[in-house]
Amino acid sequence: PAIGANQIFSLSQHWYTAGSGVGLQTIECGWQVYPGLYGDGRPHLFTYWTADGYNSTGCYNLTCSAFVQTSSTFAPGMAVGPISVSGGAQYSMELAYWLTGGRWWLYYNGTSGSNAIGYYPVSLYQGGPLASKATEIDYGGETVGTTSFPPMGSGAFANQGWQRAAYQRTIGYWPPTGGAMINASLTPSQGWPSCYTADVVMYAAPWYETLWYGGPGGT
CB 136 within 8 A of CB 149: no
Q: Catalytic residue positions?
A: 28, 142
Distance CA 12, CA 3 (A): 14
